[in-house]
A and B are shown apart, each in its own frame.
Chain A
Amino acid sequence: MQSWVKTARDRLLEIRGSEPGWGYRTGGEPATEPTVLAALGLLASDTQNSVDPATANATRWLTSIQRSDGAVGVSFKLQTPEWPTSYALLLWQAAGSSTTPVTRGCHWLLQHKGITFPNPKDGALGHDTTIPGWSWVNDTYSWLEPTAMAVIALRRAGFADHPRVRLGLAMINDRVIPEGGWNFGNNVTFGTSLRPKPAPTGMALVALADGNEPSPAVEKSLDYLSRELVRVRSAESLGWGLLGLAAWGRLPVDASSWLNESSKRVLPRPDAAMQLGCLLMASSTQTLDFLGVQRPKGAVHASRS
């Protein structure tokens, strides 16, 4: 185990304290998203391939806050919005939890979708507003990140061929920025391409990794990420960006040193849990299995030495 990985793992366990999960800030109330990312990071980076007590506690806590309809909110107190449901599904599956919460969570996800509306005639938007994905909050529009995470979680649970997942993939493909990459989910406004960002691009690339050869749009997006990550050291963007590249067999040879560099910045922060989780997830190709990625045939991963 690389030394930064051990340090990051130790720090994660330290900042959890006696809570069952991790909060957005150290000492804060446990919340679904940081708990899932921290626990997935611990799982992915565990050389023993075992579920440690902290991860086991986290999965039990998530089950305890799951609503009767299958959704999982932001935290115990914030039962809505329900976008973290996809995250919870990923941890339950990676940790080998009982199938019941997974089944209920998938049922909830498949019953919900972002609102759609007829394409505006004024040309203000450059994407198709009629394709439903998933929203951050019920009864609002579909956006990139919740759609990518829902697709990833449902695919991992065996729903890759479900019509909703196919529509989600269509939405992701439709929202790609013409020059490559994704942002929050708006590719063109008033005829101008908006700027891509590494984290949503990484998530989209993970969601689209189906074992096939990359489309031209995926190729452009991989090129964008490969260029961009050379200078990006914020943990969430670097972590998801590297996972996006790894999903298509394009992990840069310097990835490990970038992760090390980023972890040093993150360790003292009061909101380190989610960020360390992202870095640890990106440190191991096992994460791609947790995310249900089908790697392209013959893909070669660069060395992580």
Chain B
Amino acid sequence: MHPVLKFDPRTMTRREWLTAVGAVTAAGVGAAWLSRHWPQSTETFIGRTPNYNSSIRSVVLAGMKELGITRREIAGKSIMLKPNLVEPATEAPHINTNPIFIREVAEAFRSMDAREVFVAEGPGHCRDTYLVLDESGVGDLLRDAKLPFVDLNHDDVDVVRNAVRRTTLKTIYLPRSLRRADMVVSLPKMKTHHWTGATLSMKNFFGVMPGICYGWPKNVLHREGINESVVDIVGTVKPSLAIVDGIVGMEGDGPIMGEAKAMGVVVMGRQLPAVDATCCRLMKLNPARIDYLKLAADRLGPIGEFWIKQRGESIMSEAKTFKLLDDPQFAKYRA
């Protein structure tokens, strides 16, 4: 095989892509190869939101408009919001998706006439989901906003075919409440992660895997490979949208022991790899060095900057360096 054919255009920069196209053409492979490998471009939106008291809802609605999400697409639908609630965190609220952020996103969908909006999560480190809700402040918010909550760790379970098979798992267990939702929306926190480099809208889907089947932590997925599992889960669940809480993120020893990092952004998009790649660029990490993004890029969406049309604010104007753990093994995420 010509070496260029091993290249993955979705992870490439524009310069790399043009070089590859030139090489393919020169090799006489031509139009057929190009038509198979020409990536679909996508859009992500970056909205500036300085703090949790500012107008998150209007930024989210503006983002939906930029992404072409219309009232007609939302009206009458059941919307499942999947925040990142890893563990109880009174003393470290930047571990979890902020409760106000969850409420404002919910209200944005309600204002577009969604039939129902519910919140669902299966915390990965703590069996007592109500403790997580109490200590994160999400429990009070859900009650006040009349938002139903489903504990995905203890839901009824369906066995479904693994649609991607990057792991050896032929089937995976998924909570039945996923079937209730017409749209599954990832609401992650923008954080570094000491095993994967970054945890964003894709890694957030570890939290849909039922603990009664996978444990606390969901160690089966670690055994199968965190990166491979992330791709299998996202490719099987097929979420519709990601809205990232990048207002205050986490740097350093993420996902639970890092420090708060004020970023002041909301990042949105329909294709999760593209959203996460944009977040990485905002964090001054190289998305092509995040293994699950690299794995996802050949089938779940592009991560190359050339293929992502940026709406709203620019990456350059909003990017800030997220600290990584002070250990040589983490330097690779910057390169």
A interface list, Cβ under 8 A from B = 24-25, 28-29, 31, 33, 74, 78, 81, 83, 122, 124, 135-137, 139-141, 143, 145-146, 183-184, 186, 189-190, 192, 194-195, 197-200, 232-237, 271, 274-275
Contacts and interface: CB of A to CB of B under 8 A. Distances in A.
A143 B253 contact: no
B67 interface: no
Contacts of A189: 194, 253, 257
A232 B156 contact: no
A276 to B, nearest CB: 13
B131 A237 contact: yes
Interface in B184-213: 194, 211-213
Interface string B202-230: 00000000011111110110110000000
21 contacts: A25-B154, A74-B212, A122-B329, A136-B211, A136-B215, A139-B223, A143-B216, A143-B219, A183-B125, A184-B127, A190-B194, A190-B253, A192-B257, A194-B256, A194-B257, A195-B88, A197-B131, A199-B131, A236-B131, A271-B151, A275-B130
A29 B128 contact: no
Contacts of B154: 24-25, 271, 274
Contacts of B128: 197-199, 234-237
B156 A29 contact: yes
Contact of B130 (A81, A135, A235): A235
Interface of B: 87-88, 125-128, 130-131, 133-134, 151, 154-157, 194, 211-217, 219-220, 222-223, 253, 256-257, 325, 327, 329
B147 to A, nearest CB: 15
A145 B217 CA distance: 11
A198 B135 CA distance: 13
A197 B217 contact: no
A224 B293 CA distance: 40
Contacts of B156: 24-25, 28-29
A198 B130 CA distance: 12
Given A189-B257, A232-B131, A234-B131, A136 B214 contact: yes
A33 B222 CA distance: 24
Contact of B155 (A24, A192, A237): A24
Nearest to A189: B194
Given A28-B156, A192-B253, A197-B88, A137 B219 contact: yes
B196 to A, nearest CB: 14
A231 to B, nearest CB: 9
A105 to B, nearest CB: 19
B219 A141 contact: yes
Given A197-B128, A271-B151, A137 B253 contact: no
For the complex of A and B, the 7 pairs showing the least CB-CB separation, nearest first, are A136-B215, A234-B130, A24-B154, A236-B128, A234-B131, A140-B219, A237-B128
Contacts of B219: 135-137, 140-141, 143
Contacts of B216: 136, 143, 145, 184
B87 A140 contact: no
Contact of A233 (B134, B220, B253, B325): B134
Nearest to A200: B127
Contacts of B212: 24, 31, 33, 74, 78
